[in-house]
Chain A
Amino acid sequence: MSKKENAPIRIVLAKLGLDGHDRGLKVVARMLRDSGMEVVYLGLRQTTEMVVTAVEQEDADAVGISMHNAGHLTLAPRIVKALEDAGLDVPVVVGGIVPESDLEAMAEAGVAGVLGPGSSAEDVATCVREAVAARGE
């Protein structure tokens, strides 16, 4: 069933595990709200299962994970795979501290976009919008 164009994008935002840097996630939540999206905010200490459950029940269009504890190379692919396994066709975007040398590995793992410190509100909204649009095709 085709998505209706005028419905706002719904995105689930979370931080995984014990990584306590939630300032960035809160900023991103406001940026996305101000660009007209509906943000389902999960906050800190989420597990892969909790994110999958939220996407399923909220019928989200995208998942955004914020990562600052150098766990992105294991955790991001795990989320992508868990969503796939659950039959949920939604893009995953990542922000926070991801060294440039890891960008290729992230893309290979199926992460739709990665943003780092200093990203503007427009960067953030565009990243999510493009990731969602790419899935819709």
Chain B
Amino acid sequence: MASEDSTLISLVEKASEGDRRSVGRLLTLVERGGYSAEQVAEATYTLSGNSHVIGITGAPGAGKSTLTACLARDLAVSEYKPAVLAVDPSSPLTGGAILGDRVRMEEASEAGAFIRSMATRGHAGGLALAVPGMVRVFDAFGFNPIIIETVGVGQVEVDVASAADTVVVVVTSGWGDAVQANKAGLLEIADLFVVNKADRPGASDARRDLELMIDLSQITGQATRRPDIVMTTATEGEGLDEFTKAIFEHRELLFGGEQISIRRSKRWKAEVRSRLDYLLSEVAKESIENLEEKKSSSPGSVAREIAENLLKKDEL
């Protein structure tokens, strides 16, 4: 491990001097998990906490990459040093993935944005563990803001939302049915809605539906702050100024008061929670492997017995 440690120190040093290849290597170490990931986490934790983290989610094809690309490009052209973490699903069958978000991000990349693609890699809690760690690597080496792009499906969405300061949900005119089932979830996480593909028929209906949905949730008191809605045609560059402005406004709202510390403390807890879940599931896995079936004991009672024994352990 000693040589790994010294490699790590030199990677961190070079990354602080602006070496992007070292940043790329550190991201890989975090993504892979295990000992090195924990070392990187320790090395970057105290250096981080300064960057604004934006999560962009929504159904496949809604225009997340196009919007992310425009935002990252515009920020890179002005005084910012943005990074993008673009998450795509792994194939559940083979574990492989096609990460295609970079295709739309050429201009952003040329303008200086750091773009990293990642796959969800199926393993339980993997994304919840890796994403905050990778965001922290960007944060520690001065990337700001950090934009996470992810497909809007179930747990992935929630994991990413809990890693971001500002959550943008992208919908299009056909969004109704797809999103219906998950309405409450979306409203809970969204700080800003974007109705993209405003050039298509039905966009203003989509906006109206959204307004209604938000009205309802305001009455029932689910949401605290009314999320803004902006209309964009990302491919034509229309509405992008409003989009950027809305994101900056949310940032001001957060960083101007104590909102940010509330949100960060939620993020911190969510991360402890997912790390705890992971540790516990690992020990659970171990205990199950050596378990022999006892017909006389119910599965529930055996599980309880194992848990009780585990809790008496000194070290995981």
List residues of chain A with CB under 8 Å of any chain B CB: 1, 4, 7-8, 29-30, 32-43, 50, 53-54, 56-59, 86-88
Contacts and interface: CB of A to CB of B under 8 A. Distances in A.
A50 B36 contact: no
A41 to B, nearest CB: 5
Interface string B83-118: 000000011011111111011001001100011110
A1 B10 CA distance: 11
B97 A38 contact: yes
Contacts of B99: 38-41
B29 A56 contact: no
Contacts of A87: 21
B20 interface: yes
B4 to A, nearest CB: 6
Given A4-B32, A40-B99, A57-B115, A34 B94 contact: yes
Interface of B: 4, 7-8, 20-21, 23-25, 27-29, 32, 34, 36, 90-91, 93-100, 102-103, 106, 109-110, 114-117, 119, 121
A20 to B, nearest CB: 15
A108 to B, nearest CB: 27
A29 B103 CA distance: 14
A35 B100 contact: no
B25 A59 contact: yes
Contacts of A30: 98
Contacts of B102: 40-42, 54
Contacts of B4: 1
Contacts of A29: 98
B60 to A, nearest CB: 15
Contacts of B90: 38
A57 B95 contact: no
Nearest to B36: A1
B27 A35 contact: no
Contacts of A59: 21, 24-25, 27-28
Given A4-B32, A29-B98, A39-B96, A34 B116 contact: no
A20 B297 CA distance: 66
Given A38-B119, A59-B28, A87-B21, 6 more contacts: A7-B28, A30-B98, A38-B117, A43-B103, A56-B20, A59-B25
B109 A53 contact: yes
A45 B110 CA distance: 14
Contacts of A41: 98-100, 102-103
A40 B119 CA distance: 10
A36 B121 CA distance: 10
B284 to A, nearest CB: 20
Nearest to A86: B21
B129 to A, nearest CB: 14
The interface centre, meaning the residue of B20, B25, B93, B109 with most chain A CB atoms within 10 A of its CB, is B109
A118 to B, nearest CB: 22
Contact of A42 (B23, B103, B110): B103
Given A1-B36, A7-B32, A41-B103, A57 B98 contact: no
Contacts of A54: 102, 109
Contacts of A57: 20, 23-24, 109, 114-116
Given A4-B34, A33-B91, A59-B27, A50 B106 contact: yes
B94 A1 contact: no
A64 to B, nearest CB: 13
A80 B106 CA distance: 21
B251 to A, nearest CB: 25
30 contacts: A1-B25, A1-B36, A4-B32, A4-B34, A8-B95, A8-B97, A8-B121, A33-B94, A34-B91, A34-B93, A35-B96, A36-B94, A36-B96, A37-B96, A38-B117, A41-B102, A43-B103, A50-B109, A50-B110, A53-B109, A54-B109, A57-B20, A57-B109, A57-B116, A58-B24, A58-B116, A59-B21, A59-B28, A86-B21, A88-B21
